[in-house]
Amino acid sequence: MDKNNLITFKVQRYDPEHDRIPHFQEFMVPSGKCLTVLEGLLYIKENLDSSLAFRASCRMAICGSCGILINNYPNLACHTQIEEFHSDTLTVKPLPNLPIIKDLVVDLIPFFNTHKSIKPYILRQDAEEMEKPTAEYAQPPRALETLLQFTHCIKCGICISACPTSASDRLFLGPQALSQCYRYCTDNRDEGEKERFPMVDTDHGVWHCHLAGACSEACPKGVDPALAIQLLKRRLVSRAVALGKKQQPSSTVPSPAETKPKLPFPGFTVK
């Protein structure tokens, strides 16, 4: 860190036990090349104020814990370079549309519960095979491509905080859960449409998406939830009017008779 190059972090503080409303506190953080917002927050925590609360874990945009609002734009703190903003002041707030627990930490439990409600796993009729699998279900590369981008979701909640419908409708399922509903319904190994459709075909479900597209623009993993929602709508309509062909769920494929020989274990480089 360059001690001469200082940047002001305006951080929203809120402790429900002591504060009535959130307020801002300023910290001077030494900045440097390739420094992320998360590193700035860690500097504050380690050197200036250890009571600052924020979430982080992997520091490489994988775990989805460090979502915050940086200069009024939701992003992952570990995935955002301070330099990107070309400014000597950064405003840091917790993600909107989610209840605040403390400072930059929001309550993600309702978000995870909504995600769970759409049954985000493969549902099949052949319960015995599911319980005691004898082989893998076949999935050709083309079938995988139809859903691959939606599997990249890390459940960070950033799309929910960017979504204008989630801001006005507290019961709205939100782009994350709806896109995951599409991701599983379109999986050629899945047979769970009948169980998932009643969850999304509600007054606060898929039909309440305004198609603002803010979710897709904000997603740090390049997922396009707005597209998934539109494709989910198409799927619901084609089932409602009994149009479009319904694919049969894939069957199991036997394990290959021959497998390639394993590579030898490399020798130790340090004796």
Partner 1 sequence: MRNTYLWLLQLITGILIAVLLGVHMVLMHLDAILGFFGVDATKITSWESMIERSNQGIWAGLYIALLAVVLYHALNGLRNVILELTPSVRTERVVTRVIVAFGIVTFVFCSYVPIALLSA
Question: Token pair for residue 85?
Answer: 């903003």
* Identified binder of partner 1 from the candidate list 124, 189, 204, 221, rule CB under 8 A: 204
Task: Based on the shown chain and the rule CB under 8 A, indicate whether residue 98 belongs to the binding site for partner 1.
Answer: no
Looking only at residues 65 through 94 of this chain, which bind ligand FES when binding is defined by CB under 6 A?
65-66, 76, 78
Least distance (Å) between residue 126 CB and partner 1: 26
Transcribe 134-158 into DSSP letters: -SEEP--HHHHHTTGGGGG-----H
Site string for partner 1, 128-167 (x = CB under 8 A): -------------------------------------x--
Among 42, 43, 64, 147, binds ligand FES (CB under 6 A): 64
Please report the beta strands in the chain, taking only residues with DSSP state E, as ranges in sequence order.
2-13, 23-31, 67-70, 73-76, 89-93, 100-102, 105-106, 136-137, 252-253
Q: Do residues 7 and 40 make contact, with C-beta atoms less than 8 angstroms apart?
A: yes
Q: How far is the CB of 95 from partner 1 (least distance, A)?
A: 19
> Total residues at the site for partner 1 (CB under 8 A)?
21
Cα dist from 231 to 18, 47, 143, 175, 206, whole Å = 46, 49, 15, 12, 10
Name the binder of 221 from partner 1, ligand FES, ligand SF4, none, CB < 5-8 A by kind. ligand SF4
Report CA-CA distances (Å) from 12 to 15, 41, 59, 68, 113: 10, 12, 21, 11, 27
Residue pair 200/140 in contact (Cβ under 8 Å)? The answer is no
6: β partners: 30
Alpha carbons 68 and 37: distance in angstroms, whole number: 10
Using CB under 6 A, pick the residue from 5, 47, 57, 89 that binds ligand FES. Answer: 57
Mask for 13-52, x = binds ligand FES (CB under 6 A) = ----------------------------------------
Q: Which of residues 161-180 bind partner 1 (CB under 8 A)?
A: 165, 168-172
Find the part of the chain contacting ligand FES (CB under 6 A) among 59-67, 86-94, 230-238, 258-266: 59-67
